[in-house]
A and B are shown apart, each in its own frame.
Chain A
Amino acid sequence: AQSVAQPEDQVNVAEGNPLTVKCTYSVSGNPYLFWYVQYPNRGLQFLLKYITGDNLVKGSYGFEAEFNKSQTSFHLKKPSALVSDSALYFCAVRDGAGGGADGLTFGKGTHLIIQP
């Protein structure tokens, strides 16, 4: 079984400061890892993914995430936060051995609040 943990319900960051949203995962095979963002009254938007290759992946809107196999983590980061980054962020995982047959397992989400 696969699982995702987002230990923080909410993260508060001042505009212009770096931000980190934490995510740890558990899968039996190789992890396919994703970050999605959800703005109020809208569906989920894809931010970035890690499948294989470089541990640091870059995504939309200046976000990046670092895959750390030893710590089973995939934290989302951005060097300088914007007020418009305020939203609900979901980390998700799929077992790469599933061959695409399984849906994603999502974390419970982290509210990111950027204060002006």
Chain B
Amino acid sequence: SAVISQKPSRDICQRGTSLTIQCQVDSQVTMMFWYRQQPGQSLTLIATANQGSEATYESGFVIDKFPISRPNLTFSTLTVSNMSPEDSSIYLCSGLGFANEKLFFGSGTQLSVL
């Protein structure tokens, strides 16, 4: 099984600034995804991180707000841009193993925007 390291684990940011979250997998995964978990809510898929090309965004999420990179099979970043208090949430990185069956999750980044 893959181990996913995510950092920072938490941050407190000012309105209007940007934060980049890093996700490192200890082995190759086929797909990588970014999820958001708002307080008291379930997980919502933000986008699929595609290696070497633009991410595929879900409805309601756009590249200008959540730019994503995936330069290789084991690393991805998510930036939360021009933050507002509504962006306060837990952001989770996940990877799909080569058996295309099970998602592995990082421990998440808890973001608070003041």
Contacts and interface: CB of A to CB of B under 8 A. Distances in A.
Interface of A: 32, 34, 36, 41-46, 49, 51, 90, 92, 99-109
Contacts of A42: 107-108
Given A34-B102, A42-B107, A105 B92 contact: no
6 contacts: A42-B108, A43-B108, A90-B43, A100-B100, A107-B42, A108-B41
Interface residues on B, range: 20 to 34
Scoring A36, A44, A45, A101 by chain B CB atoms within 10 A of each residue's CB, the highest score goes to A44
Contact of B105 (A44, A99, A101): A44
Contact of B106 (A34, A43, A90, A108): A43
B105 A100 contact: no
B101 A103 contact: no
A4 to B, nearest CB: 9
A40 B6 CA distance: 17
Contact of B102 (A41, A46, A101, A103): A46
Contacts, number: 54
B66 interface: no
A24 to B, nearest CB: 15
A49 B1 CA distance: 14
Interface of B: 1, 4, 6, 30-31, 33, 35, 41-45, 48, 92, 94, 96, 100-108, 110
A105 B45 CA distance: 8
A46 B103 contact: yes
Nearest to A45: B105
A53 B102 CA distance: 16
Contact of B42 (A46, A101, A106): A106
B45 A103 contact: yes
B43 A49 contact: no
A107 B41 CA distance: 9
Contacts of B31: 100-101, 103
A103 B48 contact: yes
